[in-house]
Amino acid sequence: MDITTWMFEWLEGNAIFTPNTLGYYWDGFVTTTQLVFLSLLAGLLLAVPLAILRSSRHKWISLPVYVYTYVFRGTPLLIQLYIIYYGVVFFDGIQETFLWPILREAFYPALIAFTLNTAAYTTEIFRGAIKATSQGEIEAAKAYGMSSSLMMRRIILPSAFRRALPSYGNEVIFMLHASAIASVVTLTDLTGAARFVYARFYAPFDAFLFVAAIYLCLTFAILFVFRQLEKRLLAHLKPLSH
Amino acid sequence: MLDLQGYGPRLIEGAGVTVQLAILSLLLAIVLGLLTATAKMSRSWLLHKVATLYTTVIRGVPDLVLMMLLFFGGQIGVNMISDMLYDHFDIDLYINFNAFAAGVLTIGFIFGAYMGETFRGAFMAVDEGQIEAGKAYGMGNALLFRRVRFPQMMRHALPGLSNNWMVLLKTTALVSVIGLTDMVRVAAEASRATHEPFVFLLPVAAVYLLIASVSEWIFAQLQKRYNVGFGGQ
């Protein structure tokens, strides 16, 4: 049987998954994807310079970054979200600035909290990768007369990014799962949509199992993408085949 | 000084709930993790498949979704069971769905999957020769587990275990969303009521950091103990 007619018949005989509720899930999917993608992008951009500072030999440069990553990795994301969501009002004069219409909505406090959180984890991932650069490569770069910024750009960062790839893949999945708490501050992300459907039909199994399956598919998609990336970018580290 | 506006005792109570919840869930997760690791390494095809399904599904779905499924679905599920018992066996049994127990079960169930992966790697890192030697001494499976495999496995499992514990500790904050009165819920309520979020949320964040630091120290001590005889690394 044709898959679209099958879908149609299944939808017709179903009280809960009407086109209407599927529309909620779709909106939730869009919100979740936007939140996760934007926070990962901003977090990545923050994490690169922070990781370089964190690897500095000078204590007064690396210590503040360490305090930041320690605090953000040591406390629950939910608390960070609450602090930003409830606290943003209390910055003096913020309600008069052009930022207020943006910050008043739950989306942006959530985005800020997620960005700061993932930036902290990503900083530590990159810092580990930078630290693991082989001493020989650094010596060779120095022997070529490279300045430390050129060495960072041409030698250390490109190989560190590759080494960080598997851990960063885990961080992306972690962020997808962590984004579910956006539903706590009234955002209708995927989990928020499931909560809505649950509340409306009092059908916890349908509502949450369906959304769990969506998350599972997304997780597998991310895993697949990172596995392909690793295959390409880490090909030089694979054991030689005989 | 910090003015908690009368919320102090409730916050401390909430902190107690957080700590109890975390420790009980950890114990359950360790037991489930050991079972999962054993199932994954067993020669039985079915056990292996079931364990793989468990770890894959749990690790692919957000904690909060699993929690809501168990919390909201739990009462309905329990009611269905007691209805069935009444209809078919004439047993009149009312099971009260306890929120705290549900929290422990959910978090333990989630982290059992992560622990399973940690323990599996650790068990495989134990030298085969050690196990053969144990068998040569005529040790039974249980004794072999207690005296040889477990103590040596823990050396490899501790870093992963400590990692999982830190994540678990932070995951306990999610129960506040579902209705358990842990310290996060008290702080969030107080923030809404008094319009002073920093006064309540920052100390709670500090308590999490404190627990994390203390457990880091404990794990370092444990690592030292399990590394005895391995060149003190």
Is B18:B172 a contact under the CB 8 Å cutoff? Answer: yes
CA angle, B165 then B171 then B174, to 5°: 160
- Whether chain A has a CB inside 8 Å of the CB on B80: the answer is no
Any residues with CB less than 8 A from the CB of B112 and at least 6 apart, and which? B28, B29, B31, B32, B33, B35, B36, B54, B58
Position B226 scores a pLDDT of 86
Position A241 scores a pLDDT of 65
CATH number of B93's domain: 1.10.3720.10
Q: How far apart are CA B61 and CA A177, in angstroms?
A: 7
**B62–A178 C-beta distance less than 8 A:** yes
Q: Which of A109, A11, A184, A113 is nearest to B65 (CA)?
A: A184
Percent of chain B with pLDDT over 70: 95
Position A175 scores a pLDDT of 94
- Mind listing the pLDDT tens digit for each residue in A193-225? 998 888 888 888 888 999 999 999 999 999 999
Minimum distance, in Å, between the CA of residue A149 and any CA atom of chain B: 34
- Whether chain B has a CB inside 8 Å of the CB on A79: the answer is yes
Q: What is the average per-residue pLDDT within A75-84?
A: 93
- Mind listing the pLDDT tens digit for each residue in A97-117? 777 776 777 888 899 999 999
Residue A130, domain member (yes or no): yes
pTM for this one?
Answer: 0.87
Mean pLDDT of chain A: 88
Minimum distance, in Å, between the CA of residue B81 and any CA atom of chain A: 15
Any residues with CB less than 8 A from the CB of B76 and at least 6 apart, and which? A204, A205
Residue B1, domain member (yes or no): no
- Band (pLDDT 50/70/90 cuts) for residue B233 is very low
B64 contacts in chain A (CB < 8 Å): 180-181, 183, 191
Residue A10, domain member (yes or no): no
- Whether chain A has a CB inside 8 Å of the CB on B106: the answer is no
- Mind listing the pLDDT tens digit for each residue in B73-98? 877 887 788 788 887 777 777 667 77
Q: How far apart are CA B165 and CA B161, in angstroms?
A: 6
A181 contacts in chain B (CB < 8 Å): 64, 174, 177
Minimum distance, in Å, between the CA of residue B5 and any CA atom of chain A: 18
Residue B12, domain member (yes or no): no
Residue A57, domain member (yes or no): yes
Residue A55, domain member (yes or no): yes
Note down the domain range covering B70: 17-226
Residue B177, domain member (yes or no): yes
Residue B65, domain member (yes or no): yes
Position B208 scores a pLDDT of 93
Residue B53, domain member (yes or no): yes
Q: What is the average per-residue pLDDT within A114-126?
A: 95
Any residues with CB less than 8 A from the CB of B59 and at least 6 apart, and which? A219, B113, B114
Q: Which of B115, B111, B124 is nearest to B41 (CA)?
A: B124
Residue A239, domain member (yes or no): no
Option in B60, B173, B192 nearest A78 (CB)? B173
Distance of CA A18 to the CA centre of its chain: 31
Minimum distance, in Å, between the CA of residue B231 and any CA atom of chain A: 23
- Whether chain B has a CB inside 8 Å of the CB on A71: the answer is yes
* ipTM of the complex, rounded to two decimals: 0.86
Is B106:B67 a contact under the CB 8 Å cutoff? Answer: yes
Q: What is the average per-residue pLDDT within A21-25?
A: 85
Residue A173, domain member (yes or no): yes
Option in B72, B177, B202 nearest A204 (CB)? B72
**B176–A75 C-beta distance less than 8 A:** no
Q: How many domains does chain B have?
A: 1
- Band (pLDDT 50/70/90 cuts) for residue A174 is very high
- Mind listing the pLDDT tens digit for each residue in B115-144? 998 999 999 888 889 989 999 999 988 899
Least confident of B88-92, B180-184, B198-202: B88-92
**B169: closest chain A residue by CA:** A76
Option in B66, B184, B202 nearest A76 (CB)? B184
Note down the domain range covering A97: 20-234
- Whether chain B has a CB inside 8 Å of the CB on A167: the answer is no
Residue B43, domain member (yes or no): yes
Flag whether pLDDT at B180 surpasses 90.
no
- Whether chain B has a CB inside 8 Å of the CB on A211: the answer is yes
Residue B4, domain member (yes or no): no
Residue A101, domain member (yes or no): yes
- Whether chain B has a CB inside 8 Å of the CB on A199: the answer is no
Q: End-to-end alpha-carbon separation of chain B, Å?
A: 44
Position A106 scores a pLDDT of 82
Q: What is the DSSP letter of A241?
A: P
Flag whether pLDDT at A228 surpasses 80.
yes
Residue A3, domain member (yes or no): no
CB atoms within 10 A of CB A238: 9
Mean pLDDT of chain B: 87
Option in A74, A90, A181 nearest B64 (CB)? A181
Flag whether pLDDT at A138 surpasses 70.
yes
Least confident of A122-126, A235-239, B221-225: A235-239
Distance of CA A112 to the CA centre of its chain: 12
- Whether chain A has a CB inside 8 Å of the CB on B68: the answer is yes
Q: How far apart are CA A38 and CA A78, in angstroms?
A: 18
Least confident of A68-82, A93-107, A198-212, B165-179: A93-107
Q: What is the average per-residue pLDDT within B98-127?
A: 90
- Whether chain A has a CB inside 8 Å of the CB on B191: the answer is yes
Q: What is the average per-residue pLDDT within A62-88?
A: 92
Q: How many domains does chain A have?
A: 1
Q: What is the average per-residue pLDDT within A40-54?
A: 95
Q: How far apart are CA A141 and CA A118, in angstroms?
A: 31
Q: How far apart are CA A195 and CA A155, in angstroms?
A: 49
Residue B165, domain member (yes or no): yes
Residue B152: which H helix or E strand, with range? helix B150-171
